[in-house]
Amino acid sequence: LASLSSLPAFASLTDDAIATLTGGADLGEGAITLTAPEIAENGNTVPIEFDAPGAAEVTLFADGNPVPSVATFKFGPLSGSRSASTRIRLAGTQNVVAIAKMEDGSFQMAKANVKVTIGGCGG
Amino acid sequence: MASGVKPRVKVPKKASVGETITIKTLISHKMESGQRKDDDGNIIPRSIINRFTADFNGQNVVDVTLEPAISTNPYFQFEAVVPESGEFKFTWYDDDGSVYDTSKKITVG
């Protein structure tokens, strides 16, 4: 989590995006788990997984990317669990943040730091 | 239309009533992020798949908004409940307006 303070500009972009999403509501923790590798050799394809029982929507952010938004998952009536896996790009070592909008309208957050050996945004 | 776009999905052929099954989907697509530059220093324009949906017999399972941070060949794994026999429909929406879809039948019994 130390990298949050070393990347102030990017972190605030992500904070802004999260504030827009939640409307400034409090972020709880514990009801969502985010699984990411501690070290990713290739930032072009980093496997990410989340599980958020009771979530209606989950949004992923990468706070060190040029654009922090990664994806939003909206779960429908035939969703079997409020979990999913995907593969994302990370420009460098940074935090991946998952925000879940729960069915009761509250928000939950989980964070995972990923050390990236080769960046994945090709800039 | 982006070239060589091919969807692939893995869905079990059979399930019991109300079972939760795991679905894996992948579509071959370069997902050009709009951040890269060509040899002359010009930005290569963004060209990605921006939305993916999975439905079963017309009811939604998951609806995903994709940003350029999703890797080349977007991959998703998720779970669905199957209340009856029927068909999953998977749809991907490209920035260029193209829509790709594929279907898989599942028998419940």
Q: List, for residues B35-45, the tens digit of each pLDDT value.
A: 999 999 999 99
Q: If you count residue pairs, one on A and one on B, with CB atoms under 8 Å apart, how many are there?
A: 111
Over residues A83-99, the mean pLDDT reads 96
| ipTM here | 0.94
Q: Residues near A118 by Cβ (< 8 Å), separated by ≥ 6?
A: A41, A42, A43, A44
pLDDT of res. A118: 78
pLDDT of res. A120: 66
Contact B33 A122 (CB under 8 A): yes
Cβ distance B48 to A59 under 8 Å? Answer: no
Taking all residues of chain A, what is their mean pLDDT, rounded to a whole number? 90
* A118/A62: higher pLDDT: A62
Measured over the CA atoms of residue B72, residue B75, residue A35 and residue A99, the dihedral's sign is positive
pLDDT of res. A13: 86
Type of residue at A46: V
Best CA proximity match to A35, nearest among A54, A48, A45, A44: A48
- The pTM of this model reads 0.91
Dist. CA A53–CA A72, nearest whole Å: 16
Which of A57, A86, A121 is most worth mutating to test chain B (most B CB atoms within 10 A of its CB)? Answer: A86
Dist. CA B88–CA B96, nearest whole Å: 25
**Considering only A9-13, B9-13, B69-73, B74-78, which range has the smallest mean pLDDT?**
A9-13
Per the structure block, which two tokens stand in for A64? 């060190």
pLDDT band, residue A107 (cuts 50/70/90): very high
Q: Compute the nearest-CA separation of A26 from chain B (Å).
A: 24
List of chain A residues whose C-beta atoms are within 8 Å of the C-beta of residue B78: 73, 79-81, 83-85
Instruction: Name the DSSP letter for residue B71.
Output: P
* Maximum alpha-carbon separation in chain A: 42
pLDDT at A103 > cutoff 60: yes
pLDDT at B3 > cutoff 80: no
A119 touches chain B (CB under 8 A): no
Percent of chain A with pLDDT over 90: 83
The CATH number of the structural domain formed by B6-108 is 2.60.40.10
Percent of chain B with pLDDT over 90: 94
pLDDT at B71 > cutoff 90: yes
Beta bridge partners of A97: A61, A111
* A2/B37: higher pLDDT: B37
Residue in chain B nearest A83 by alpha carbon:
B78
Taking all residues of chain B, what is their mean pLDDT, rounded to a whole number? 95
Q: Find the CB nearest B59 among A76, A86, A87.
A: A76
Contact A89 B69 (CB under 8 A): yes
**Considering only A34-38, A105-109, B33-37, B63-67, which range has the smallest mean pLDDT?**
B33-37
3-class secondary structure, A16: helix
| pLDDT, tens digit (0-9, with 9 covering 90-100), for B83-99 | 999 999 999 999 999 99
**Considering only A12-16, A27-31, A70-74, which range has the smallest mean pLDDT?**
A12-16
List of chain A residues whose C-beta atoms are within 8 Å of the C-beta of residue B82: 78
Extract the runs of DSSP E, i.e. beta strands, from chain B.
6-10, 14-15, 19-28, 49-56, 59-66, 75-82, 86-94, 99-108
